[in-house]
Amino acid sequence: MFMTIFLDQGAVPSQSNAGAGHLRVGYIGLGQMGHGMAANILRAGHSIFGYDVDPKAMSTFRSIGGVTVGSVREAVGSVDVVITSLPGPQHLEQVALSEDGLLNSAQVGTIWIDCSTVDVSTGIRLRDACTQAGIEMVDAPVTGGAERASSGDLTVLVGGDDDIVTRLNFLFRGFAKRVHHLGPFGAGYAAKLCQLHLNYLVATGVGEAFLMAARFTVDVKELYLALQKSCAQSYVLDHHVPQLLAGDYDESFNLGLAVKDLGLICDLGESTGVELSLGRLVYNRYKEARDKYGDTAPHLSIIRLLEDSHHQLIRPMSNMEVVE
């Protein structure tokens, strides 16, 4: 039975080390999302052994009292649970399949929770390899962004066996407020891509709507307040429009990762036989923005692309601003 689990309720049966209360956790990927999640797991009383290819990320984790190690092998070799939070499929495969990677280093009986945003087919290949190695795997992408990762207010989208997910509830409690068990392995990955599909469509639509308003000399700040109480209200509207009105294109996430996500979304559409007519238009628009501003440009540069191409800022202009 698949379910929504609100993590301020209920106890967890202790059928293995993964239900025993205190865990040794190997955490791989200490970037903006991974750092916040690992920090909250640490605060929940679990032992964390963190690893990231970026020395700065490891230093930042140590600065809050976290323990870091020098390799994937050291992170996973003697732990109960491994959590990965990585940028994309190729990074996940490298961590899992390299000579000193997870599959060759983790003990039999280890549980691997992957919180990355990747395609279902990559996940299933790795799950099958885990089964042969005696490792259990759950896909558990998260949604909420870096700010909510730090505050522990994430939502987890889980795919996996009922028994394993139930045993992991108390661990999820360490970094998330809500867990949705959506189906068997792979359902979490698919659900995350569906969520992102809506997110990128809405972000593009918000940009177009506010650009029309600005060109018609509508008071965009007042429009924002009106839309918050309308059927157009959404997280994207509530969270990103104030940033745009302040000239902030949100550096918590970049265009390179957005384009990666949209490619995976289009692949999922193909594999399920769903024609993503809007999705492909938005994918091409994000690629255009990425090509113009670069992989590391903030993700709301998709709206900057609209502004630049129409020589019109959405935010009220100061006397010193000029749009090229």
**Neighbouring residues of 160: CB distance < 8 A, sequence distance ≥ 6:** 137, 138, 139, 140, 181, 184, 185, 188
Our count of domains for the chain comes to 2
The C-alpha angle 98, 101, 105, rounded to 5 degrees, equals 135
- What's the CA gap between 120 and 71, in Å, rounded? 26
Question: What is the structure's pLDDT at 164?
Answer: 96
pLDDT in single tens digits along all 324 residues of the chain: 555 544 433 323 333 455 557 899 999 999 999 999 999 999 999 999 999 999 999 999 999 999 999 999 999 999 999 999 999 999 999 999 999 999 999 999 999 999 999 999 999 999 999 999 999 999 999 999 999 999 999 999 999 999 999 999 999 999 999 999 999 999 999 999 999 999 999 999 999 999 999 999 999 999 999 999 999 999 999 999 999 999 999 999 999 999 999 999 999 999 999 999 999 999 999 999 999 999 999 999 999 999 999 999 999 865 334 445
138 and 263 together in one domain: no
What is the token pair recorded at 39?
Answer: 């920090």
Is 323 domain-assigned? no
Quote the tokens at residue 139: 């896909």
Question: Looking at residue 7, what is its pLDDT?
Answer: 45
Residues 34 and 165 in one domain: yes
CATH number at residue 210: 1.10.1040.10
Q: Quick one: pLDDT at residue 20?
A: 54
Q: What per-residue confidence (pLDDT) applies to 4?
A: 54
Residues 160, 241: one domain? no
Q: For residues 174 and 199, state if they share a domain.
A: no
Contact 123, 112 (CB under 8 A): no
Is residue 199 located within the same domain as residue 170? no
103 touches 160 (CB < 8 A): no
DSSP string, 197-228: HHHHHHHHHHHHHHHHHHHTT--HHHHHHHHT
**Nearest Cα residue to 261 out of 60, 117, 97:** 117
**Where does a domain end: 129, 153, 183?**
183
pLDDT of residue 320: 37
Strand pairing report for 111-114 and 81-84: parallel
- For residues 130 and 214, membership in a common domain is answered with no
Q: Which domain holds residue 266?
A: 191-310
Q: Is residue 320 situated within a structural domain?
A: no
pLDDT at 12: 31
Q: 143 and 192 in contact (C-beta within 8 Å)?
A: yes
pLDDT for 273 equals 98
CATH number at residue 84: 3.40.50.720
- What confidence score (pLDDT) does residue 11 get? 29
- Given the residues 56, 177, 192, 287, the one annotated as active site: 192
Q: Is 260 a catalytic residue?
A: no
Residue 21: predicted pLDDT: 73
pLDDT 10s digits, 249-308: 999 999 999 999 999 999 999 999 999 999 999 999 999 999 999 999 999 999 999 999
Q: Are residues 46 and 68 in the same domain?
A: yes
Nearest-angstrom CA–CA distance, 81 and 19: 11
